[in-house]
A and B are shown apart, each in its own frame.
Chain A
Amino acid sequence: DAKTTQPPSMDCAEGRAANLPCNHSTISGNEYVYWYRQIHSQGPQYIIHGLKNNETNEMASLIITEDRKSSTLILPHATLRDTAVYYCIVMTTDSWGKLQFGAGTQVVVTP
C-alpha cells in the first residue's frame, strides 16, 4: 500500500514559487518525510527531509502540518532547471536505506 499520495503533475511559472503537496495520512511517529527529485536522464537527487518541524535548505523548504498527515515542498523561485519528477517518501531511519519511491509529481516549469 502506498504511504504517500501526490498529484501526478503540476505546472509552474518560472520565477514563481512552486508548492508541491504530499499526503501521508498514515504516517507514524518515527517516520520522516523525505523529498527527492529526478531530472530527465539523471539519477534521483536528495532535496530535504524532516520529522515534524519545518525545514529549509539552499534548495527548498519543507512545511509539515501539525498533525503530520501532509506536507508541502516549496521551491521558492522555480527555474526551468527545476523541471523534474518530485518524490515524497515516508520512512523511518531504521529502514536499512530501502528508499521506496512512489509515482511522484511531474513538475513542468514554463517560461
Chain B
Amino acid sequence: DTEVTQTPKHLVMGMTNKKSLKCEQHMGHRAMYWYKQKAKKPPELMFVYSYEKLSINESVPSRFSPECPNSSLLNLHLHALQPEDSALYLCASSQDSGGMVQYFGAGTRLSVL
C-alpha cells in the first residue's frame, strides 16, 4: 500500500473561518510534508516533519499551523487565510527524513473567499 490519503478533497472557507486539512499514511514512513501548489505552478514545500517533530518551516505565515499527532497523521490548521492562499495543498510522506522518494496524496483544493 503506497497510498497517502488527504481529506477533504475540496474546501471553501471564508477569511474568518478556522479549518483543518488532514493527511494519513500507513506505510510506516517517518517523514511527512506539506506542499502548496498554485494554478499552473510547480509545488512548493511548506513544512517537513521528521519523526513527528517539525524539522523545516519554509518561512510559512503563521496562519498556517501544522501538527503531527502521530507517525501516521499530519494536519494543517488554517486560520484567517487570505484569498491568495487559495491553492492545491499536497501532503507527501517518505521513509525517512532525507527521503527524496516521496509519495504524494491527491491534494486538497482550497478556495478562500
Contacts and interface: CB of A to CB of B under 8 A. Distances in A.
Interface residues of B, number: 26
Contacts, number: 67
Contacts of A42: 104, 106-107
A41 B42 contact: no
Given A97-B33, A97-B94, A46 B102 contact: yes
B42 A97 contact: no
Interface in B2-29: 4
Interface stretch (A16-24, A64-72, A73-81, A99-107): A99-107
Q: Is the interface of B mostly helix, strand, loop or mixed?
A: strand
A43 B45 contact: no
9 contacts: A32-B100, A38-B43, A42-B104, A91-B100, A96-B56, A97-B102, A99-B43, A101-B42, A104-B42
Given A97-B31, A98-B48, A99-B45, 17 more contacts: A32-B100, A38-B43, A43-B91, A43-B105, A44-B43, A44-B92, A45-B104, A49-B101, A89-B100, A91-B100, A93-B98, A94-B98, A95-B100, A96-B98, A97-B33, A97-B56, A99-B43
Interface of A: 32, 34, 38, 41-46, 49, 85, 87, 89, 91, 93-104
